Amino acid sequence: MGFLSWLEQTGLATFVRESPSFYGYPTFLFAHTLGLAVVVGISSVVAARMLGVASGIPLAPLRSLFPLMWAGFLINLISGAGLWLADAVNKTIPGDGRQAPIFMTKMFFVIVGAVLLLKIQKKLSGPEADSNTPSSEMRFLSASLLVCWVLAMIAGRLIGYTSAILG
């Protein structure tokens, strides 16, 4: 707790939380939404393709989309770190009506989602892409990814409603 409290008092955390500047909290939030649109947006379309939507799309060229997806993920890692820093105790230590339980639920699904995305990328870089018919393992990974992203978005949105949910 002491370390987290100290983190909250660092210059960056104070800037994100308290600066009246547009480049503080509003810009971090915007970046977080943009990163979401990029990484979750593109990867969801790719996952839908694996599950049979627009099956005319060849798989091999999709490989070049992954650097862009990871760029979106990186934007969210950085902007998310800033937002977390500004409110570290509340989002990390459970109890006293703090947001930690819901925030950590979101983190769980984000991490599982990122691992699944990495596995999809690995599989796609192999011979999987040659046939244009995704294997059942690829379909399973894709369906799981979509579930993870939806749950992460629900949990993420509900962080702000902690008091209504946890009382």
Token duo for residue 139: 């379909």
* 40 lies in the site for other proteins, by CB under 8 A: yes
Rg of the chain (C-alpha set): 18
Identity of the amino acid at 130? D
* 53 lies in the site for other proteins, by CB under 8 A: yes
* 149 lies in the site for other proteins, by CB under 8 A: yes
Strands (E), 24-157: none
Cβ atoms of 90 and 100 closer than 8 Å: yes
Q: Which is nearer to other proteins, 25 or 73 (CB)?
A: 25
* 3 lies in the site for other proteins, by CB under 8 A: no
Q: Which is nearer to other proteins, 6 or 63 (CB)?
A: 63
Q: Which residues lie below 8 Å from residue 17, measured CB to CB, with a gap of 6+?
A: 8, 24, 25, 86, 87
Can you give the binding site for other proteins, defined by CB under 8 A?
Answer: 22, 25-26, 29-30, 33-34, 36-38, 40-45, 48, 53-54, 56-58, 60-62, 64-65, 68, 149-150, 153-154, 156-158, 160-161, 164
